[in-house]
Each structure stands twice: as C-alpha cells, then as structure tokens.
Amino acid sequence: MTVQPALRSMLDAMAAAPPADPTLGIEQRRKTMDELTVAGFVSVSESGPAMFEEFTHRVPVNDGVIRVRTYRPEPGGELACYVYIHGGGWWLGNIDIYDESCRAMAAHLGCVVASIGYRLAPEHAFPTAAEDCYAGLRWVAMNADVLGIADSRIAVGGSSAGGNLAAVVALMARDRGGPSLRAQVLDIPATDLMMTSASIRQNGKGYVLTKEGMEECRSLYAPDEADWTNPYASPLHATDLSNLPPACVTTCEYDPLRDEGEQYAMKLVGAGVPVTMQRALGHIHGSHHMVKLMPEAARYGDTVVTFLRQHLA
C-alpha cells in the first residue's frame, strides 16, 4: 500500500530541510538529532502513567559504568521483567528519551521494565554497546531479589539498533550460559551490517531513515569492516540460531531495514524458534509507534504486549 497519509507532511518537511552542518562535532550533532527524535517521534508515541517506583541504578561494566532505570508499575511480590534497549543507530538516544514508552510498557504488561543505558559510538565502538547490554541483563538477573523480579521470567527487546542489540544479547545469553530468557522482541531491527538487502535499495531515500544515514551509523559503530559479519554485530550472520527464546519481529513496509528483519525472522523459524512476525503496512521506520498521530497503529504494539504477556506469564 502507499505511505500512510498522516506521514506525508512529515516526509515533505524532511525533504525540504537543509542538510546537516558537517562542521558540527559529535556531541552537538547528537544533541540536535536527539531533539529531532523527541519532536518528530517520541512526542507522538504513547505516554505511560506514573509508576509505583522508578529507580536509576549505576551499574559497573567493563572499563566504565552505565545507567539502568527500572520502572515498577505496582507494589507487591515478584514481577516479570522486560529488559528494554533503546535505538538510535548505536550513537544516538538515551534512557531519558524513552521514559514515557517504558512507563507505558510497564503499565500494559504489569511487569518491571529495565531500560539499559549503554555507552554510545563513536566514543565506544563495537562491541561496547552489545557487551554493556549483556552486562545490564546479567545485573538485572543477579539482582532479582533486590529489584523484586522473578529471574525465571525475563524477556529482552528493543527497536532499530536496540532491536539489533536485543537479538545479540539473546545470542550472548545462549552462548555464555545465561541468564535464561523467556522471549525476545525485535522491533524494526538491524540484523546485517553488510547492508545488501533489496529494501535498502528500494527505501534508502525519501523515508527519513536513509541508506546514507545507515552507512554513517555503521561507520561510527563498527569502523572495522571485519566486524560487519560478526554475529554479535550482525546476528543474521550467525551460523546457529537454535535454542533461542521465542521472538516477536516487527518490520515496516517503507523501511530500509525491512528485509533483513524479515530474513532474520525466517532464519529463526528455520532453526526451530517460535516466531510472531508482523509488517506495518504503509509505515516508515518507527512510524508504527506514532499512536497519537495514527491511533490505528496501536495494533502493532498490542501484538507485542500480547506476545510478552503470553511468554512472561
């Protein structure tokens, strides 16, 4: 189908916008891009209610410290936990930007959400983000008693680059003997840094996320080409996807990442992993979260919530 009509004015405005100033440093560019993300995407995504408890934890990782923010929607005993990893091409975003969506997910699921604030490229290139996210998952599982969660009911998920990292964390957890995961949510994931799929050629210009932008993200995160086929950078290149947790994979019709997300889903199916797969028709990268702009898009989030409720029960 054609692009959702509600997105047309946004696409026209993006096409008419002046190019980014190439003289800006990485910190200023990151600040500008994060502001655009909040204005263009987060502001029209679902907001969540106040939580019973929110804590920001400082978690030691290799050569540093990361933030992990936990959201508890209700008092009581042990709850399941959804470990969430934000997107941003591995060099943008932070846990503050996604506060509202984490609150919404915690409320929908009735579980604790733990948002992982991994370190960003290019200051911290591959494999830092992946290792930080795995360390964050291990910290959550090891501190289950303190956090009031059941360490046997943990899922991991993320969007875009966060979907990439969620898939990688699931691989790491399997390869390294835990923690045990009930499910993985891979929302519009990047799975192949080789960037050879047809959807990149078809949708790589004119739909906000561009091939040029993806190449820049890759150059910042994985500047060494030898890493592009490493399964912990490109999970599509993993030779063995067996014994991974059930997956929910969402793609968007006009997204350059569409094909590699669907290819990974089918490769999981081939390895015997249960997969729930959905394609958001008429949507561009991430627009299926814009429920304040397009209320009917809520059905894609509903699928994820249903999936997680089933597997975290």
Please tell me which residue in 45, 115, 160, 199 is annotated as part of the active site.
160
Separation CA 272–CA 97 (nearest Å): 36
Neighbours of 212 (CB within 10 A): 10
Give the type of residue at 277: M
Please tell me which residue in 234, 255, 259, 289 is annotated as part of the active site.
255
Separation CA 24–CA 21 (nearest Å): 6
Which string of DSSP letters, residue by residue, matches 68-137? EEEEE-S-SS-EEEEEEE--STTTS--TTTTHHHHHHHHHHHTSEEEEEEPPPTTTS-TTHHHHHHHHHH
- Check if 255 is active-site: yes
- Check if 160 is active-site: yes
Helices (H), 110-210: 128-142, 144-147, 161-175, 198-203
Please tell me which residue in 57, 86, 285, 311 is annotated as part of the active site.
285
- Check if 237 is active-site: no
Any bridge partners for residue 187, and if so which? 159, 250
Tokens 């800006």 correspond to what residue?
24
Separation CA 257–CA 49 (nearest Å): 31
* DSSP 8-state class, residue 188: S
Separation CA 147–CA 154 (nearest Å): 12
Catalytic residue numbers? 160, 255, 285
